[in-house]
Amino acid sequence: MLDSRMPESIKSGAHFLEPMECLDVTKLPKGPLWSYELKLDGYRMQAISRAGKVGLRSRRKSSYTLNFPQIPLALQGLPNGTVLDGELAALDLHGRPSMSLLQNHQTTHPPIVYFPFDVLFHLDRNLTRLPLSERRKILRDICPTSDMVILSEVIHMDADGILEFVRENSHEGVVAKRNESYYEAGRRSGAWRKLRSSLADVWRPSGSKPMEASNRCSELSTSIKRGY
């Protein structure tokens, strides 16, 4: 699949890329062109596999490999020449990401989990010009998972249902992404958008019955335990 779709002109050795940024909004985009993930309160982190070793780099390219050595060990099955983008989070007793626990992880010892949501290179090939929907498929195929590495999955709910769940469960917010978007390193183009729960205009799903909303929240809660 990679050979047939990837032009020779964009082949490159795997390396750190400046992260693609989310545009802050007060209302989520809706429709079939968009998909949704939970916004996690953690550290943006790239996992880079080269020469049989996996390293962690923050959004400012600082090395976090020695800060969280359990994560590179959990990613040892990642193919050489691969770069993942994701979020590193510390979980509280309710399974919610907590920035304060993450910042004090050496004294509080919370569960640390890496949530990959994108793949930028695979086998030294640059994937950033593939649509997000295809990059997600590749990510699912190549990324080793465990209690410490959980893929960030798309939440199959409408925008209003997700917002209701985020509000009721004290999550940070929602990220909306265009399914066919390229990975635009270092840019905030609007193809990825984030809504913080404190800035949302509308919370209640229009036309939803109480039982329908409850069922959707239960489904989402299960998704989070599996990784979003």
Q: Report which DSSP code applies to 185.
A: T
- Cα 122 to Cα 83: distance, rounded to the nearest angstrom: 7
- Cα 227 to Cα 147: distance, rounded to the nearest angstrom: 9
- Catalytic machinery residues: 39
- Cα 113 to Cα 115: distance, rounded to the nearest angstrom: 6
Characterise 227 by phi-psi region: left (phi > 0), alpha (psi -120 to 50), beta (else). Answer: left
- Mapped onto helix, strand or coil, the DSSP state of residue 13 is coil
Q: How far is CA 223 from CA 78, 100, 178, in A?
A: 23, 24, 20
